[in-house]
Structure 1
Amino acid sequence: MAINLRRLAVLYSKNKRTQYYWSVCNLSTKSEVESHLDFKKWHNGGGAFHPSACIDSTALIEIGAIVYPGAVLGANALIGSGAVVGPAVTIGQSTKIGYGVSLSNCIIGDSCVIHNGVCIGQDEVESHLDFKKWHNGGGVFHPSACIDSTALIEIGAVVHPGAMLGANVHIGPGAVVGPAVTIGQSTKIGYRVSLSNCIIGDSCVIHHGVCIGQDGFGFFVDENGNMLKKPQMLNARIGNHVEIGANTCIDRGSWRDTVIGDHSKIDNLVQIGHNVIIGKSCMLCGQTGIAGSVTIGDFVTLGGRVAVCDHVSIASKVRLAANSFVTKDITQPGDYGGFPAVPIHEWRRQIAAQRRISKKGIA
């Protein structure tokens, strides 16, 4: 494994303690390839260390312990037998590491005590053997999930690590509740629903096939004309008493969470892009499409197949006729329609004028 120590120094340079350690160490700018021949015996305890590790002379590394390249050990740190300190791990002064401890991708502070066998910073690897059968319904769950005993997880449903299910939650067959997803009490999740990177409120109804919390559609073009994906790192938050129709998709946020307000109702086959915020008691009819970063107020109604352009704001108490297309902000309450959407009376006059023109053309 190649380790570029200069990059490691930059990565940890924000930590004042490690700034000092890096400054006193003679770091090579060349990448090094680890070999058992590269490791040396530490003078205090007989453990092994890589010469690129920055270790205070007062540290104790017991026999059988290993300190990998780029690690930083503070004054009076104690590394127990069989412990492994991975590449670029930082351990503060006077910290004690027990037997068989595994440390990777982490920074340990001063005067800590890490007892025998602890693992910190490792990549999580899930195994089907880790999952258990839920007593109520026959679905499977990970033991690290926090599930109320009254929850029903039907056969074929899967609840992943760290998920939280409230009282009287119902998870339908084939549904997948992803890691760290939260579902409020009395919420019903339909068949084959996919939930990830999201928080679902109380007393919601999520119908069959809904997908919530997946990455949004965000890309940019680099200097070579290649399409590169923008990071989509935030969540989707669904309020209380929300109903979401079958096969609707709600993307997670990229620069702000995607939010659906309390008591809002969403029909089947609706697409809600990343960073969208929808207020309370809104109604979205079937096949509506809302592009990214739209903000919608409270008590808004969108008719069937309404389209909303990205980064548009719609005021509270607006109603949009079916097949309308919103291309710019709507700042006043009222009824709107057309392509582009205009106040409803203006839209009706446009339709009447088009009809008169077409009749004259025929005549």
Structure 2
Amino acid sequence: MKKSYSIKEINSILNGELIGNTTQSIEGPEQLQNANSNHITFIGSTKYAKHWADSKACAAVINDTLKIEPGNNRALIKVKNADLAMAKILELFNPPSPVFDTDIHPTAVVHDTAKIGAGCKIGANCYVGKDVELGNDVILYPNVCVFDETIIGDNTIVWSGTVIRERCIIGNHCIFHTNVSIGADGFGYRPSDDGRGLVKIPQIGNVIIGHYVEIGANSCVDRAKFSSTIIGDGCKIDNLVQVAHNSIMGRSCIMAGHSGLAGSVTLGDGVIIGGSASIKDHTTIHSGATVGAGSGVVGDVAAGKTVLGYPAQDARDMLKQWVALRQFMKKQ
């Protein structure tokens, strides 16, 4: 059934300052320049405020620092943070998840020793191995593999194509998107004694993932050579991200797409890694630090510092170098 709300119903959820009014029923959110008359949009900065007059949206959620007039039969809801308010609106219009006709599909293979919690859903062609433990309300969408002795906490959702290798430990309320790899062998090789080949180093550790962790599609978290690769509570990992063996991520870290940690990297709490950034092995990035997109970190980064460039250095210094280089090139 299609959802629709009045502007007052939406504002009752946001608790913002309603300016103007619209009689139009709101049937969904949309980008400012793509919206139609039944859409609500959002404006978070002056950069986009100039497009409001030409937008067809009947309503917008805006930051309370912006000065915009609503217009005829249009409404604005002023809030402290338009991005967070729009998240609440997206929840309102969020379509339901795929439906399971049976709790455990008849084509799923579940080992006799596996412990399956109350309310679990296991889709078609899933494999759940020996001595696996699933907490309550775990969802495994079709074609998920969970290998022996792995433990998955309550309310965790695992999307199709994901493989969780043996002996891994997953927390509560995690989300793994399609084709995530958890616990594949770490990348460990050494030249052979005769120098004519490479010797594979056994990877006998596991992966431990905390609570409320979200990992994007096609990302990989490798098992440790020994001990554990660890992802702390609340970490958010984008698509196509690599976390190598024995790396440790603190709480609430963010890794954007195409970024990667080499082996034995340590991140403190709240570290932000920009897209396509790469971090050298055995490097420590302390709490609250930020690594700019495309940067290459080859040494430790102090707490709260922002680094940029390749090799990465203090962002202000790097920006000064870029300005100086541009001025030099103009003189040539």
Q: How far did 1:135 drift?
A: 5.0
2:174 is the counterpart of 1:204: yes
What's 2:15 paired with?
none
Q: How far did 1:284 drift?
A: 0.4
Q: Over aligned residue pairs, what C-alpha RMSD do you find?
A: 1.1
1:121-200 to 2 correspondence within 5 Å? 135-138=103-106, 139-197=108-166, 198-200=168-170
2:239 is the counterpart of 1:271: no
- TM-score, length-normalised on structure 1? 0.62
Classify the secondary structure of the residue corresponding to 1:350. helix
Classify the secondary structure of the residue corresponding to 1:332. coil
What's 1:242 paired with?
213
What's 2:190 paired with?
220
What's 1:334 paired with?
305
1: CA distance between counterparts of 2:262 and 2:162? 22
Q: How far did 1:358 drift?
A: 1.4
2: CA distance between counterparts of 1:334 and 1:220? 35
1: CA distance between counterparts of 2:118 and 2:254? 34
Query: Does the 8 Å CA contact 1:140/1:153 hold for their aligned counterparts?
Result: no
1: CA distance between counterparts of 2:253 and 2:137? 26
Q: Which has the larger radius of gyration?
A: 1
Counterpart of 2:142, as a letter, is: P
1:1-363 to 2 correspondence within 5 Å? 135-138=103-106, 139-197=108-166, 198-225=168-195, 226-361=197-332
Q: How far did 1:172 drift?
A: 0.9
Counterpart of 1:163, as a letter, is: V
**Count of residue pairs the alignment pairs up:** 228
Q: How far did 1:333 drift?
A: 1.6
1: CA distance between counterparts of 2:288 and 2:302? 10
Counterpart of 2:304, as a letter, is: P
2: CA distance between counterparts of 1:195 and 1:161? 13
Gaps in structure 1 of 5+ consecutive residues:
1-133
Q: How far did 1:336 drift?
A: 1.1
Deviations 1:145-184 (A, max 9, x none): 1111311001111101111000000001111000111110
Classify the secondary structure of the residue corresponding to 1:236. strand
Classify the secondary structure of the residue corresponding to 2:307. strand
Identity %: 39
What's 2:90 paired with?
none
Q: Which has the higher contact order (CA 8 A, sep 6+)?
A: 2
2: CA distance between counterparts of 1:322 and 1:312? 17
2: CA distance between counterparts of 1:329 and 1:145? 43
Q: How far did 1:331 drift?
A: 2.3
2: CA distance between counterparts of 1:292 and 1:302? 16
- TM-score, length-normalised on structure 2? 0.67
